[in-house]
Amino acid sequence: SAVISQKPSRDICQRGTSLTIQCQVDSQVTMMFWYRQQPGQSLTLIATANQGSEATYESGFVIDKFPISRPNLTFSTLTVSNMSPEDSSIYLCSVRAGLNTEAFFGQGTRLTVV
Amino acid sequence: AQSVTQLDSHVSVSEGTPVLLRCNYSSSYSPSLFWYVQHPNKGLQLLLKYTSAATLVKGINGFEAEFKKSETSFHLTKPSAHMSDAAEYFCVVAYSGNTGKLIFGQGTTLQVKP
Protein backbone atom coordinates (compact mmCIF):
# COMPACT_ATOMS: atom_id res chain seq x y z
CA SER A 1 0.00 0.00 0.00
CA ALA A 2 0.97 3.63 -0.29
CA VAL A 3 0.15 6.58 1.90
CA ILE A 4 -0.32 9.84 0.03
CA SER A 5 -0.21 13.25 1.60
CA GLN A 6 -1.71 16.15 -0.33
CA LYS A 7 -1.31 19.81 0.56
CA PRO A 8 -3.28 21.97 0.92
CA SER A 9 -6.42 20.05 1.79
CA ARG A 10 -8.55 23.00 0.74
CA ASP A 11 -8.18 26.58 -0.41
CA ILE A 12 -10.23 29.52 -1.55
CA CYS A 13 -8.50 31.53 -4.26
CA GLN A 14 -9.13 34.68 -6.25
CA ARG A 15 -9.71 34.35 -9.94
CA GLY A 16 -6.63 35.03 -12.03
CA THR A 17 -4.25 33.63 -9.43
CA SER A 18 -2.46 30.27 -9.35
CA LEU A 19 -2.34 27.48 -6.78
CA THR A 20 0.25 24.74 -6.46
CA ILE A 21 -0.82 21.44 -4.95
CA GLN A 22 1.75 19.07 -3.51
CA CYS A 23 1.62 15.29 -3.45
CA GLN A 24 4.02 13.32 -1.27
CA VAL A 25 4.09 9.50 -1.27
CA ASP A 26 5.63 7.43 1.52
CA SER A 27 7.33 5.06 -0.94
CA GLN A 28 8.79 5.14 -4.42
CA VAL A 29 6.15 4.54 -7.09
CA THR A 30 6.46 4.23 -10.81
CA MET A 31 3.07 5.62 -11.79
CA MET A 32 1.62 8.89 -10.55
CA PHE A 33 -1.46 10.65 -11.85
CA TRP A 34 -3.50 13.79 -11.26
CA TYR A 35 -7.30 13.74 -11.41
CA ARG A 36 -10.03 16.35 -11.19
CA GLN A 37 -13.42 15.73 -9.66
CA GLN A 38 -15.89 18.49 -10.38
CA PRO A 39 -18.85 18.91 -8.02
CA GLY A 40 -21.17 15.93 -8.21
CA GLN A 41 -19.10 14.32 -10.96
CA SER A 42 -16.78 11.39 -11.44
CA LEU A 43 -13.01 11.57 -11.67
CA THR A 44 -11.36 12.81 -14.85
CA LEU A 45 -7.71 12.18 -15.53
CA ILE A 46 -5.73 15.37 -16.07
CA ALA A 47 -2.29 13.93 -16.72
CA THR A 48 0.32 11.34 -15.95
CA ALA A 49 3.22 12.78 -13.99
CA ASN A 50 6.46 11.42 -15.46
CA GLN A 51 9.56 11.40 -13.32
CA GLY A 52 12.23 13.66 -14.75
CA SER A 53 10.31 14.56 -17.90
CA GLU A 54 7.25 16.44 -19.09
CA ALA A 55 3.87 15.18 -18.00
CA THR A 56 1.53 13.43 -20.44
CA TYR A 57 -1.74 15.34 -20.66
CA GLU A 58 -5.19 14.00 -21.53
CA SER A 59 -7.38 15.55 -24.15
CA GLY A 60 -8.74 18.87 -22.95
CA PHE A 61 -5.91 19.60 -20.53
CA VAL A 62 -2.82 21.63 -21.41
CA ILE A 63 0.51 22.28 -19.77
CA ASP A 64 0.08 26.04 -19.67
CA LYS A 65 -3.03 25.67 -17.52
CA PHE A 66 -1.94 22.69 -15.42
CA PRO A 67 1.85 22.57 -15.21
CA ILE A 68 3.08 19.45 -13.41
CA SER A 69 6.43 18.63 -11.93
CA ARG A 70 7.76 15.30 -10.72
CA PRO A 71 11.37 15.62 -9.62
CA ASN A 72 11.58 12.13 -8.07
CA LEU A 73 9.58 8.93 -7.48
CA THR A 74 7.87 10.16 -4.29
CA PHE A 75 6.82 13.74 -5.02
CA SER A 76 4.82 15.72 -7.55
CA THR A 77 3.14 19.09 -7.85
CA LEU A 78 0.17 20.27 -9.87
CA THR A 79 -0.35 23.97 -10.48
CA VAL A 80 -3.73 25.35 -11.48
CA SER A 81 -2.90 28.56 -13.34
CA ASN A 82 -4.90 31.71 -14.03
CA MET A 83 -7.85 30.29 -12.17
CA SER A 84 -11.49 30.90 -12.95
CA PRO A 85 -14.60 29.75 -11.05
CA GLU A 86 -14.85 26.81 -13.49
CA ASP A 87 -11.67 25.43 -11.93
CA SER A 88 -13.47 24.92 -8.62
CA SER A 89 -13.06 21.18 -8.07
CA ILE A 90 -11.38 18.55 -5.99
CA TYR A 91 -7.93 17.69 -7.31
CA LEU A 92 -6.56 14.26 -6.45
CA CYS A 93 -3.16 12.69 -6.66
CA SER A 94 -3.03 8.95 -7.35
CA VAL A 95 -0.30 6.32 -7.55
CA ARG A 96 0.01 2.75 -8.78
CA ALA A 97 2.86 0.36 -8.15
CA GLY A 98 2.23 -1.73 -11.28
CA LEU A 99 -0.21 -2.62 -14.04
CA ASN A 100 -2.07 -5.27 -12.04
CA THR A 101 -2.25 -3.27 -8.83
CA GLU A 102 -4.85 -0.95 -7.46
CA ALA A 103 -4.53 2.79 -7.36
CA PHE A 104 -4.15 4.71 -4.13
CA PHE A 105 -5.50 8.20 -3.80
CA GLY A 106 -4.69 11.22 -1.72
CA GLN A 107 -7.44 12.87 0.28
CA GLY A 108 -7.74 15.53 -2.37
CA THR A 109 -7.48 19.29 -2.48
CA ARG A 110 -10.81 21.08 -2.49
CA LEU A 111 -10.35 24.26 -4.50
CA THR A 112 -12.88 27.08 -4.61
CA VAL A 113 -12.25 29.99 -6.97
CA VAL A 114 -14.11 33.21 -6.26
CA ALA B 1 -10.46 1.78 -26.58
CA GLN B 2 -11.47 1.09 -23.02
CA SER B 3 -14.61 2.50 -21.46
CA VAL B 4 -16.85 1.76 -18.53
CA THR B 5 -20.56 2.39 -18.05
CA GLN B 6 -22.39 2.37 -14.78
CA LEU B 7 -25.96 1.65 -15.65
CA ASP B 8 -27.59 3.40 -12.70
CA SER B 9 -26.76 6.87 -11.48
CA HIS B 10 -28.76 6.34 -8.29
CA VAL B 11 -29.82 3.19 -6.43
CA SER B 12 -32.02 3.16 -3.35
CA VAL B 13 -32.44 0.12 -1.10
CA SER B 14 -33.78 -0.59 2.35
CA GLU B 15 -31.44 -1.59 5.11
CA GLY B 16 -31.03 -5.36 5.20
CA THR B 17 -31.94 -5.90 1.54
CA PRO B 18 -29.53 -6.87 -1.25
CA VAL B 19 -27.49 -4.34 -3.17
CA LEU B 20 -26.77 -4.54 -6.91
CA LEU B 21 -24.71 -1.88 -8.66
CA ARG B 22 -24.28 -2.54 -12.36
CA CYS B 23 -21.20 -1.95 -14.46
CA ASN B 24 -20.40 -2.79 -18.07
CA TYR B 25 -17.03 -2.33 -19.65
CA SER B 26 -15.65 -2.15 -23.13
CA SER B 27 -12.20 -3.50 -23.76
CA SER B 28 -10.37 -5.23 -26.56
CA TYR B 29 -8.60 -7.49 -24.11
CA SER B 30 -9.11 -8.93 -20.65
CA PRO B 31 -8.98 -5.86 -18.45
CA SER B 32 -8.23 -5.14 -14.84
CA LEU B 33 -11.36 -3.90 -13.11
CA PHE B 34 -11.92 -2.21 -9.79
CA TRP B 35 -14.71 -0.91 -7.58
CA TYR B 36 -14.01 2.10 -5.39
CA VAL B 37 -16.23 3.75 -2.79
CA GLN B 38 -16.28 7.41 -1.81
CA HIS B 39 -18.10 8.42 1.33
CA PRO B 40 -19.17 12.05 1.67
CA ASN B 41 -16.17 14.30 2.18
CA LYS B 42 -13.89 11.28 2.38
CA GLY B 43 -11.21 9.85 0.14
CA LEU B 44 -11.51 7.00 -2.34
CA GLN B 45 -11.28 3.48 -0.93
CA LEU B 46 -10.74 0.28 -2.89
CA LEU B 47 -13.56 -2.24 -2.41
CA LEU B 48 -12.22 -4.99 -4.65
CA LYS B 49 -10.27 -5.69 -7.81
CA TYR B 50 -10.23 -8.21 -10.66
CA THR B 51 -6.94 -8.87 -12.40
CA SER B 52 -7.56 -12.09 -14.43
CA ALA B 53 -7.60 -14.53 -11.54
CA ALA B 54 -10.85 -15.87 -10.04
CA THR B 55 -13.93 -14.40 -11.71
CA LEU B 56 -15.79 -14.03 -8.42
CA VAL B 57 -13.99 -11.42 -6.39
CA LYS B 58 -14.61 -10.81 -2.72
CA GLY B 59 -13.94 -7.42 -1.25
CA ILE B 60 -14.20 -5.55 1.97
CA ASN B 61 -17.36 -5.00 4.01
CA GLY B 62 -19.20 -7.96 2.47
CA PHE B 63 -19.10 -6.71 -1.12
CA GLU B 64 -18.30 -8.96 -4.04
CA ALA B 65 -18.30 -8.72 -7.82
CA GLU B 66 -18.35 -11.22 -10.64
CA PHE B 67 -16.42 -10.76 -13.84
CA LYS B 68 -18.48 -12.02 -16.78
CA LYS B 69 -16.55 -11.81 -20.00
CA SER B 70 -19.46 -12.96 -22.18
CA GLU B 71 -21.58 -10.11 -20.83
CA THR B 72 -18.70 -7.62 -20.42
CA SER B 73 -20.02 -6.94 -16.94
CA PHE B 74 -18.57 -6.48 -13.47
CA HIS B 75 -21.57 -5.92 -11.23
CA LEU B 76 -21.11 -5.20 -7.52
CA THR B 77 -23.31 -6.97 -4.99
CA LYS B 78 -23.85 -7.23 -1.27
CA PRO B 79 -26.37 -9.56 0.35
CA SER B 80 -27.56 -7.15 3.01
CA ALA B 81 -27.22 -3.37 2.94
CA HIS B 82 -26.14 -1.41 5.97
CA MET B 83 -26.76 2.26 6.61
CA SER B 84 -23.01 2.86 6.48
CA ASP B 85 -22.95 1.63 2.86
CA ALA B 86 -24.56 4.87 1.70
CA ALA B 87 -21.92 6.44 -0.54
CA GLU B 88 -20.79 6.99 -4.14
CA TYR B 89 -19.48 3.90 -5.94
CA PHE B 90 -17.19 3.96 -8.96
CA CYS B 91 -16.49 1.15 -11.39
CA VAL B 92 -13.02 1.56 -12.87
CA VAL B 93 -11.21 -0.11 -15.78
CA ALA B 94 -7.49 -0.04 -16.42
CA TYR B 95 -6.44 1.49 -19.71
CA SER B 96 -4.75 -0.77 -22.22
CA GLY B 97 -1.03 -0.79 -22.74
CA ASN B 98 1.55 0.07 -20.14
CA THR B 99 0.44 3.57 -19.21
CA GLY B 100 -1.28 2.46 -16.01
CA LYS B 101 -4.11 4.93 -16.48
CA LEU B 102 -7.53 4.19 -15.00
CA ILE B 103 -10.89 5.12 -16.51
CA PHE B 104 -13.69 5.89 -14.08
CA GLY B 105 -17.37 5.25 -14.61
CA GLN B 106 -19.79 8.05 -13.90
CA GLY B 107 -20.57 6.75 -10.46
CA THR B 108 -23.63 5.34 -8.69
CA THR B 109 -25.06 6.95 -5.59
CA LEU B 110 -26.27 4.32 -3.16
CA GLN B 111 -28.98 5.41 -0.76
CA VAL B 112 -29.87 3.11 2.13
CA LYS B 113 -33.22 3.70 3.80
CA PRO B 114 -33.92 2.63 7.37
Answer for the pair A101, A46: CB distance below 8 angstroms, yes or no. Answer: no
* A31 touching B (Cβ < 8 Å): yes
Helix (H, G, I), strand (E, B) or coil at A57: strand
Q: Are B95 and B25 within 8 A, CB to CB?
A: no
Name residue A48's amino acid.
Answer: T
Q: Taking CB atoms and an 8 Å limit, are B34 and A100 in contact across chains?
A: no
CB distance B101–A44 less than 8 Å?
no
Whether the ω angle into residue A67 lies within 30 degrees of 0, i.e. cis, is no
- What is the Cα–Cα distance from A19 to A12, expressed in whole angstroms? 10
CB contact under 8 A, A99 and B34: no
Contact, B53 vs B45, CB < 8 A?
no
Tens digit of each residue's pLDDT, chain A (114 residues): 889 999 999 999 999 999 999 999 999 998 999 999 999 999 999 999 999 889 999 999 999 999 999 999 999 999 999 999 999 999 999 999 888 789 999 999 999 999
